[in-house]
Homo-oligomer: A and B are copies of this chain.
């Protein structure tokens, strides 16, 4: 089922092979779990648009941009944020390789949030018009696409739960556990990873201040729950961390 593909683009590759490898890499991650067969994959490859590099800090799309494409992250990390009428940002999510960006823009044909790369990243552009045509005669892909949109709804609901009735300690533990499980699902270590976002961005996402995040990190460190050095983090007691997330343990 898994097709062998060059992880790095070879020198001398044509535009077509570039496109193909682009599509496959990110779409593999997106689609394989859902059981697309090779035939479907090939057809999918054909509609995938160009690969695009996004340097750290650069926007992939901005609030108000007209909606043309979805973006599959091939490499790197992104954040999406809204801006309220005071001009204050609210981060609505952090996305990593293998995840899809831009689904909130379908409803009104324009983006409702801004997507910015947290590090030098790479995405595949998926023109939505072409995708829709394809969806119409590929039931498997259609189903898969609906699952992905639904998953986004579910994800946001759990953030609402987090923001609505968790204390700071619980929120931060939940944040770490969430990152951990996403890295694990992608084959990375669930216990040692880099925080790709600043303390300020974490705080913004969790509805807390940068100082609170800092204090929570110190507290967790003191408790022996984790080790942290700048953005490098190691979870020493994932079980206890999960317990705190669940609210069954207060963390001293």
Contact = CB atoms under 8 A, between A and B. Distances in A.
Interface stretch (A5-13, A21-29, A147-155, A218-226): A147-155
Contacts of A206: 164
A159 interface: yes
Contacts of A149: 103, 106, 146, 149-150, 153
> Main secondary structure on chain A at its contact with chain B?
helix
Contacts of A151: 107-108
A204 interface: yes
Given A156-B160, A164-B90, A106 B150 contact: yes
Given A156-B156, A157-B156, A163-B207, A86 B247 contact: yes
Interface stretch (A39-47, A132-140, A182-190): A132-140
Given A135-B142, A248-B85, A160 B161 contact: no
A112 B150 CA distance: 10
Contact of A157 (B85, B112, B150): B112
Interface residues on A, range: 35 or more
B105 A161 contact: no
Interface string A44-76: 000000000000000000000000000000000
Contacts of A132: 139, 142-143, 146
A234 interface: no
A157 B156 CA distance: 7
Contacts of A148: 107
B84 A147 contact: no
A197 to B, nearest CB: 15
Given A82-B161, A84-B246, A103-B153, 17 more contacts: A82-B157, A84-B161, A85-B247, A85-B248, A86-B246, A90-B161, A92-B157, A104-B154, A106-B147, A106-B149, A107-B150, A108-B154, A153-B153, A153-B156, A160-B160, A160-B163, A165-B204
- The interface centre, meaning the residue of A156, A205, A207, A245 with most chain B CB atoms within 10 A of its CB, is A156
